[in-house]
Structure 1
Amino acid sequence: MTYWVTAGLSMVLAAASPAVAADDLAWLAGQWASETGDRWTEESWTPPRGGGMLGHSRTGRGDVMREFEFLRIAAGADGTLAYIAQPQGGASVAFRLVRHDTTSATFENAAHDYPQRIHYVRDGDTLTATISRIDGSKPMRWTFRRR
């Protein structure tokens, strides 16, 4: 009997927990830039609206843009938020939100070659983005300042 009560209570609590919405990631919105020597990376995110956020990034050296990416944060078919990237404007790749709090978010897709994990942390006017394999190996990190 205790099992059924506990299982029932767990289902009620899970059903009562609000789903994570794009509004919960509003701290990511803004224009962010990282510059080291003549290398630069810029990333911009719109404030949440209509259940999603739109973003883009571009990386370059000197006066030449080398890479760009269209980005989106939106709910997938199952209602879970996902980070959807389109590198160089190509096919989209989705990374499910697996953890978040008021200043960080982690998205994962273990089936993708690289990256498999995308992690953002904000501290005031500093935003750190780290990509890696699912186990945290082969990390690449960018530290952005708010523009």
Structure 2
Amino acid sequence: MKQTIYGCALMVALAAASCGKQKDEPAHQINKAEWFLGNWGHQTPQGDLSENWEKINDSTYHGASYFIKGKDTLFAESIVLSEVKGDLLYNVTVPGQNGDLPVAFKMTSGTANQLVFENPSHDYPKKITYRLVNQDSIVAEISGTQEGKAMSETFPLGRLKDNK
């Protein structure tokens, strides 16, 4: 009887310790960007901007951004947002730039409604910021210096209606 009581006590203690360890595990950084997922867009007289994000796996999201006027694609980029050893990396590839190789930006600040990625050694931009306005609206901003002058560009994006 004593062995059964000790056995049960040991099992309860192990279960409690196991639950405690799960609670102490760090949250995945990529979960901070879950609101990126879906299709976003903004129409301007200069053309239509769209940004589409999908979850590849528990540590990787893929994004594609396009600026289209009529039937012409004026700008396109591919983005891989990945968590590597606890760091969130925003790797962007623009065809025809940087030898078609990705440029990495590391998350330097992350809250529930804003993520900031930076690469101080990149020419422009040096900083990429995403801000969640509400579930149907985000703002992306790129900033840095060009020809010695501080510059920034802001891109408001709304969730496209075909999203769930």
1:144 maps to amino acid: L
Candidates 144, 151, 159, aligned match of 1:138: 151
Runs of 5+ unmatched residues, structure 1: 1-15
TM-score by length of 1: 0.80
CA RMSD of aligned residues (A): 2.1
Query: Matched residues in 1 for 2:46 and 2:88: separation?
Result: 35
Counterpart of 1:81 in structure 2 is 88
Structure with more relative contact order (C-alpha pairs < 8 Å, separation 6 or more): 1
- What is the percent sequence identity of the aligned residues? 26
Aligned residues of 1:41 and 1:59 also touching (Cα < 8 A): yes
Counterpart of 1:56 in structure 2 is 64
1:1-147 matches, cutoff 5 A = 18=26, 20-47=28-55, 49-76=57-84, 78-88=85-95, 90-124=100-134, 125-133=136-144, 137-147=150-160
TM-score by length of 2: 0.72
Q: Which protein is bigger by CA-based radius of gyration?
A: 2
Higher share of residues assigned helix:
2
Question: How many correspondences in the alignment?
Answer: 130
